[in-house]
């Protein structure tokens, strides 16, 4: 139960999308039943608005919520890659610092290089 | 041919070769938990709320009417309300897509910037690919296939080594 609640909390946008989609379908069905129950246009129009238009709006809200959830996933993936990149950068930076320190120490300890050359 | 410094002189590595002391400010994708800031929700929120309110008002008004001609205007109003609601959702998604696209662009820039250090990393890690080499007693930097290196045991040079290039293999 705790796991389910945690999942619902983390995936609130997908849960909202599913709820909106179900509500939209129910609204469309109710609108259809209400509209088909009368032959007068003036009595059908309120069902068209409360059932049809509202159902379409709820389905649109479900789509928006679901795509928002996908975008949030994409954003989390970006953050994960960026964090990996930063760790790699820090690692290379420390390696490079260590190398430069060692190279400077080596050159200072070696003193002036010999003048004789065997190449070019 | 670029000569970094005079051969045989003991010189510390140039300042420019050292890594920067502080990393550049991170992209927003690293600091923000979501592509949307609070301010981004204002316009889509207003449109969606307006759409719902207009829809409810229109539905209440047209439910009271019994003549089709009197209902039409409220029906049109309800459709406009639904349109405003959908437009708010579309704006919300467009902002999110834009921010994710910017996040990828920032990540690509960060990768390019950080991978600039990758040119130096093979020098630090033994066995990595190194362009220039030298051998004991040699004062110049050579390509690994330089003729002057024949029969000599070579060692890789760091990219910021200040010795001059070999005149034989430099232009090869």
Per-position DSSP letters for B95-144, written without gaps between them: HHHHHHHHHHHHHHHHHHHHHGGGGTHHHHSTTS--S-EE-TT--SBB-T
Q: Share the mean pLDDT of chain B.
A: 78
Residue range B156-170: mean pLDDT, rounded: 78
A92 neighbors B117 (Cβ within 8 angstroms): yes
Task: Confirm or reject contact between A113 and chain B (CB < 8 A).
Answer: yes
Q: How many CB atoms lie within 10 A of CB B59?
A: 22
Residue range B91-108: mean pLDDT, rounded: 93
The residues with which B141 forms a beta bridge, in sequence order, are: B165
For B116, half-sphere exposure in the C-beta direction (CA atoms, 13 angstrom radius) is: 12
> B95: pLDDT confidence band, cut at 50, 70 and 90?
very high
Q: Classify residue B146 by burial, with Cβ atoms within 10 Å: 0-12, 13-18, 19+.
A: buried
CB contact under 8 A, B139 and A113: yes
Closest-CA distance, A85 to chain B, in angstroms, reads: 7
Residue range B39-51: mean pLDDT, rounded: 95
Q: Taking the mean position of all CA atoms in its chain, how far away is CA A108?
A: 53
Cα–Cα dist A72/B68, whole Å: 46
Query: For the segment A52-79, what is each residue's pLDDT rounded down to a tens digit?
Result: 999 999 999 999 999 999 999 999 999 9
> B103: pLDDT confidence band, cut at 50, 70 and 90?
very high
A85 neighbors B114 (Cβ within 8 angstroms): yes
B117 neighbors A89 (Cβ within 8 angstroms): yes
pLDDT (0 to 100) of residue A113: 59
Q: What is the dihedral of CA B137, B140, B143, B147, to 10 degrees?
A: -60
pTM score, whole prediction? 0.65
Q: Which helix (H) or strand (E) holds B59?
A: helix B42-64
Residues 71-110 on B with a CB inside 8 Å of A are: 71, 75, 78-79, 82, 85-86, 89-90, 92-93, 96-97, 99-100, 103-104, 107, 110
pLDDT (0 to 100) of residue B58: 95
Q: Using the Cα atoms of residue B27, residue A86, residue A101 and residue B18 in order, give the sign of their dihedral.
A: negative
B155 versus A17: the higher-pLDDT residue is: A17
A108 versus B50: the higher-pLDDT residue is: B50
Task: Confirm or reject contact between B56 and chain A (CB < 8 A).
Answer: no
Lowest model confidence (mean pLDDT) among A27-31, B45-49, B164-168: B164-168
Helix-helix angle B42-64:B68-115, to 10 degrees: 170
Cα–Cα dist A22/B68, whole Å: 31
Q: State phi, psi for B76 to the nearest 5 degrees.
A: -60, -40
How high is the ipTM of this complex? 0.78
- Name which of B44, B46, B52 is nearest B95 in CA terms: B44
- Report CA-CA distances (Å) from A71 to A17, A94, B103: 14, 35, 11
End-to-end CA distance of chain B: 11
Q: How many CB atoms lie within 10 A of CB A75?
A: 21
CB contact under 8 A, A71 and B97: yes
pLDDT (0 to 100) of residue B136: 84
pLDDT (0 to 100) of residue A117: 55
pLDDT (0 to 100) of residue A57: 96
Using CB atoms, which residue from A53, A74, A89 is nearest to B100? A74
Query: For the segment A77-114, what is each residue's pLDDT rounded down to a tens digit?
Result: 999 998 888 888 888 888 888 888 888 888 888 876 55
B93 neighbors B44 (Cβ within 8 angstroms): no
B120 pLDDT above the threshold of 70: no
pLDDT (0 to 100) of residue B74: 94
B60 pLDDT above the threshold of 70: yes
B87 pLDDT above the threshold of 80: yes
pLDDT (0 to 100) of residue B94: 96
Cα–Cα dist B148/B137, whole Å: 12
Residue range B47-73: mean pLDDT, rounded: 93
Q: Which helix (H) or strand (E) holds B66?
A: none
B128 versus A119: the higher-pLDDT residue is: A119
A47 neighbors A92 (Cβ within 8 angstroms): no
* Percent of chain B topping pLDDT 70: 73
Task: Confirm or reject contact between B40 and chain A (CB < 8 A).
Answer: no
Using CB atoms, which residue from B19, B137, B148 is nearest to A120? B148
Using CB atoms, which residue from A49, A85, A108 is nearest to B10? A108
């Amino acid at each position: 139960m705790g796991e389910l609640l945690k999942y619902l909390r983390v995936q609130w946008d997908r849960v909202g999308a599913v709820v909106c989609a179900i509500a939209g379908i129910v609204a469309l069905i109710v609108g259809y039943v209400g509209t088909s129950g009368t032959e007068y246009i003036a009595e059908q129009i309120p069902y068209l608005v409360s059932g049809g238009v509202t159902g379409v709006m709820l389905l649109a809200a479900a789509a928006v919520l679901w795509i928002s959830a996908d975008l949030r996933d994409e954003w989390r993936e970006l953050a994960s890659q960026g964090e990996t990149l930063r760790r790699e950068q820090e690692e290379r930076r420390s390696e490079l610092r260590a190398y430069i320190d060692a190279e400077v120490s080596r050159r200072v300890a070696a003193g002036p290089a010999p003048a004789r050359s065997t190449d070019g | 041919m670029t000569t970094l410094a005079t051969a045989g002189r003991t010189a510390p590595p140039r300042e420019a070769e050292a890594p920067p002391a502080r990393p550049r400010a991170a992209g927003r994708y690293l600091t923000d938990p979501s592509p949307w800031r609070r301010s981004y929700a204002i316009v889509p929120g207003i449109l969606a709320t307006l759409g719902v309110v207009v829809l409810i008002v229109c539905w209440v008004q047209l439910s009271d009417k019994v003549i089709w001609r009197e209902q039409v205007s409220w029906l049109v109003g309800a459709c406009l309300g639904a349109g405003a609601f959908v437009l708010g959702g579309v704006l919300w998604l467009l902002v999110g897509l834009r921010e994710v696209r910017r996040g990828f662009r920032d990540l690509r820039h960060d990768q390019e910037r950080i991978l600039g250090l990758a040119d130096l990393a093979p020098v630090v890690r033994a066995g990595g690919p190194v362009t220039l080499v030298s051998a004991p007693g040699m004062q110049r930097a050579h390509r690994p296939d330089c003729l002057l290196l024949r029969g000599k045991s070579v060692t890789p040079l760091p990219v910021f080594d200040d010795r001059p290039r070999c005149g034989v293999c430099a232009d090869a």
